[in-house]
Amino acid sequence: MKILEVKSLSIPEVKVIRFARFLDNRGYFSEHFRKSDLKRHPDASSVFQNIEFLQMNESFSRPGVVRGLHFQWNPFMGKLVRTLSGHMIDIFLDIRKGSPTCGKAAMYDMPADLTRDFSEWIWVPPGFAHGNFFEDEGLIEYLCSGEYSQGCEAGISPLAPDIDWSLCDKLLKSSFDSALSGDFIMTDKDRDGFTLRDWEKDLRSDNFIYGKC
């Protein structure tokens, strides 16, 4: 895995890992994951040194789909996500009590462009609610640092009026708002998820304390 760059986003615990593709007249080859490289790279080692990926998921979404914002405890689950085909815009929301960015959400644009000499993962660590939306259809995969645990998960609705979007890229937020004003597709479970205020009143929110998750 040839790591080209590890960069922090507007909420610095969320990272983007850019890795190389090797192009020729046949197409390209890429080694998109190697655990030892993540643990040795100077800008990634502090993040991934104690992370083990235990589960891998794949998800296909049609245009107009909005997913999230999901999180899990017991065990905590961080997600390393990439777009395989199509176009995904990733959404992350800090739910760590005491965090300087608690309640703030942002997005990252992740189109799949097969002509580029690189691709990217986004790392959304434990303590964040995660989701995505799709203006076009998209196929994504994600590696999880915890196995799915039924009964130890919850979600904050992407429609919650008390989410703070001030750190979000304005063009991406505008695209998101346009999607929500049209015929978007969302499960009732996601639509009816917690608001931030209601989640903070829930005793289970104490699982997510800044510096402890």
d(CA 41, CA 45): 5
User: CA-to-CA distance for 187 and 193, rounded, in angstroms?
Assistant: 10
Nearest C-alpha neighbor of 89 from the set 70, 104, 106, 113: 106
Contacts of 186 (CB under 8 A, 6+ apart): 65, 66, 67, 158
- 28, 41, 70, 210: which is the annotated catalytic residue? 70
The catalytic residue among 28, 130, 142, 148 is 142
Is residue 142 annotated as part of the catalytic site, yes or no?
yes
Q: How far is CA 83 from the centre of its chain?
A: 11
How far is 22 from 122, CA to CA, in rounded Å? Answer: 20
DSSP state of 199: H
* CA dist., res. 6 & res. 4, Å (int): 7
Report how far residue 211's alpha carbon sits from residue 213's, in angstroms, rounded to the nearest whole number.
6
45 alpha-carbon distance from chain centroid: 19
| Other C-beta atoms lying within 10 Å of the C-beta of residue 63 | 16
Name the 3-class secondary structure at 171: helix
Q: Any idea which residues carry the catalytic annotation?
A: 70, 142
